[in-house]
Amino acid sequence: PRQPAKTLWYDRPRYVYLEFCVEDSRDVKVVIENERLVFSCKNADGVEFYNEINLYARVNSKDSREKRSDRSITCFMRKWKEKVAWPRITKENIKPAWLSVDFDNWRDWEGDEEVERAMLEQYAEV
């Protein structure tokens, strides 16, 4: 049986970030479409994880990526309309139990574009 991965998200002026918290992931598949994201993987114990999110707003799927680490898979999706805040990540106004705001990375946007650029460069280096 599949189960959803615990997921954290946060909003930035140009990108929306999602972190799927699965340690030692394998068979990772991330499909980023303009209005939807589908994530699946297995962990070291063979447990299958699957998340499907209809996105709050449109993203540029060609300028979106994911990065896998030992502890999680982070997706960063380029917003179609930059500098428009997303009040939530899902199209529907419901909050699934597995989805939380990443308050460690959530902050006001004032002067945030430099921070965002540095984060993207950090991801690109790996």
6-62 pLDDT, tens per residue?
999 999 999 999 999 999 999 999 999 999 999 999 999 999 999 999 999 999 999
Alpha-carbon torsion 46, 126, 52, 86, what sign?
Answer: positive
Q: Is residue 2 part of a domain?
A: no
Q: Is 96 part of any domain?
A: yes
Q: Residue 39 maps to which CATH number?
A: 2.60.40.790
User: What is the reported pLDDT for 79?
Assistant: 97
Residue 83 lies in a domain: yes
Helix, strand counts (H, E) of the chain: 1, 9
**Rounded Cα distance, 80 and 32, in Å:** 13
Domain membership of residue 28 (yes or no) is: yes
75, amino acid identity? C
Give yes or no for residue 120 having a pLDDT over 90.
no
pTM for this prediction: 0.87
Segments forming the whole domain that contains residue 88 = 7-125
- Helix then strand then coil, in percent of the chain rounded to 5, is 10, 45, 45
The CA distance from 120 to 15, in Å, is 10
Give pLDDT, residue 106. Answer: 80
In a domain, 1, yes or no: no
User: What pLDDT, in 10s, does the model give residues 28-43?
Assistant: 999 999 999 999 999 9
